[in-house]
Structure 1
């Protein structure tokens, strides 16, 4: 169970005060952000460094972090899909299927809550432990095999160099300190914080004054998106298109969880037992069916949609879900009575659907999707040696 090792990071990741770092203060690390984007917040015990990000990138793409050497973090987070995987639900090394889809990692540094339905999981350092060592569901399957994992890493000359550069203080304390859950998760978290996406056609049009960056259709879709008819912006607002946000210039963290009326199993607004929403952690019945609002940046490449991957296209999301104020699976065919009051439904024409989709397409940052600094650094697939 996770409690076997969670205590090892509790002091550093939970009790540590948040240190607000600008690019010039983060030990030489430069965020390279546009002027209109505030720097992220970084935990005091894990400042950003180039060496730490590079180590994290190698770890992220290394299948040796899984029990049988078949999966890496990147197996469920593909760069060309904005670090989602194109699947409705994730599947682990044992074949066990998860209850939710893989979330995109673009601009994850700005998110105060990191998963669909766990409001208590707020640290990238802690979250990194879940796919590697978690047992419900099993993803990478390394629970109880921590020592084996670190032996694998120590055996690689590339890692011996990268770990020592990223954690020079720990390197002077011996292998036990250098190859640990703490250094592993800090490096993975640092790499994920470096995944910044702010160069979409919308950004160039809105902030750089490039009038040609968006089509006329996309501009009409923008008006619909930010208008009162569809009210998309209420939950998908701000520079990251979500109501979950934290950054240097924001005095208070904002967190948004909503029931979008995706299910209505018994006519009373219930959700499937294996996917109930944040009620699983809060115990409040009013939280049944409430999930975190995802960012819409790069949304065009992150299908299928919703937390369970149950809607295939953006057109269907608009027509068959939000336009009818939440779909229903109840026998009576009624939307969930627990759906957010922000979902009121709307009439929509074919042209309006096309325009709104054109706007959502304009949130795609192709430079981010192809940036080699975010890609696989290994010259070939890294797997465990054959046991045959």
Structure 2
């Protein structure tokens, strides 16, 4: 009787196949469990400034200040007026509206994940959350407060606030200064982080059922034919959907066209650009130039994150586009051409289906949960 080795080899192959499939399933389950357990899936590590560590007391104080309308000239505006949680910390308006119903010149950017950004504001004029805080408070249209001392005085006159500052910073009433205010609000804003979108579960959670077939096609277009990923970056281990750089993408530039040649000549003659007569909207449309005074930066604005983009309409720095479809159409034709438009903006020749797929992908960038329960509270 001969030993039937082929029979045993077949059994070994069968067992090996079962073990291999089991291991694949196990790895998939591990990734899925990790994804479900991580509301910040897809985000990089958060860097906390050494001089402003996170504490529960400071975060709670910052949240209170963020929501307090007393810190506005007419008592009607708080930070939360323009940064509303149900709209991904935007306001749903084309441009922000401040005290006495005054309209600003720019669309309100989201605060979700702003803690990761290298610069703040659409022109990048603030380098940190702490530096950003006072901008709206002292803006004559937004909060309309006269100066920093007004803020400090309001706090020192409120016993509940002075007690909260004592707990957060271990300071006496007369030691409270504007730096404590900015640090508290910035600490709260650093809790407004949220990942874990369907896209994150697909790419970083290895859940290949997370995206619809349309959204998956949209991701391919986003990375290739659409050229979107050039500025709205995706890396191998996280995705902020911004490169933190500034571009003229051909939005709103027509506001500058009537005065542009004279303005450029004025600046090249060595004059202070602040003295050239422009409307508020025209000056706003100068974009990054207002910070750098470099003519090459005229009309440039910061690449915004696309996370939660389906919740933050209307779009663009001037709020001029109501839908994602309008945004895609703008890029598809190569933007509104002007002498400063970036070379990355060119006609894409997308089909109707490709446009629909891009929208489906961007709708898959909405986080599973709003960051409404800050760490430490």
Range into which the TM-score falls when normalised by the shorter chain: 0.7 to 0.9
Structure 2 unpaired stretches of 5+:
1-37, 262-280
Change (3 A) 1:303 1:156: farther
**Does the residue aligned with 1:358 lie in a helix, a strand or coil?**
helix
| Structure-2 residue corresponding to 1:232 | 228
Residues 87-236 of structure 1 correspond to what in structure 2 (within 5 A)? 87-117=93-123, 119-135=124-140, 138-144=141-147, 146-147=149-150, 150-152=153-155, 154-157=157-160, 159-168=161-170, 171=171, 174-177=172-175, 179-227=176-224, 229-236=225-232
Structure 1 unpaired stretches of 5+:
1-31, 245-255, 328-334, 378-388
Cα offsets for 1:336-366 (capped at 9, x unmatched)? 1321101111112221111100100000014
Cα offsets for 1:192-216 (capped at 9, x unmatched)? 1111111111111111122232111
| C-alpha contact (below 8 Å) 1:235/1:293 kept by paired residues | yes
Change (3 A) 1:278 1:164: same
**How far has the Cα of 1:305 moved from its partner?**
0.5
| C-alpha contact (below 8 Å) 1:269/1:338 kept by paired residues | no
Which of 277, 288, 293 pairs up with 1:278?
288
How high is the TM-score relative to the length of structure 2? 0.77
Which of 315, 323, 341 pairs up with 2:325?
315
CA distance, structure 2, for counterparts of residue 188 and residue 115 of structure 1: 16
Cα offsets for 1:248-281 (capped at 9, x unmatched)? xxxxxxxx10000122453998893442111122
Q: Please give the root-mean-square deviation of Cα atoms over the aligned residues, in Å.
A: 2.4
CA distance, structure 2, for counterparts of residue 47 and residue 368 of structure 1: 23
**Does the residue aligned with 1:63 lie in a helix, a strand or coil?**
coil
Change (3 A) 1:316 1:52: same
Q: How many residues align?
A: 314
Which of 321, 334, 339 pairs up with 1:325?
334
CA distance, structure 1, for counterparts of residue 68 and residue 222 of structure 2: 39
| Structure-2 residue corresponding to 1:242 | 242
The structure richer in helix per residue is 2
| Structure-1 residue corresponding to 2:249 | 260
Cα offsets for 1:97-124 (capped at 9, x unmatched)? 211111111111111110111x341021
Larger radius of gyration between Structure 1 and Structure 2: 2
| C-alpha contact (below 8 Å) 2:201/2:210 kept by paired residues | yes
CA distance, structure 2, for counterparts of residue 366 and residue 104 of structure 1: 16
| Structure-2 residue corresponding to 1:4 | none
Whether 1:82 aligns to 2:88 is yes
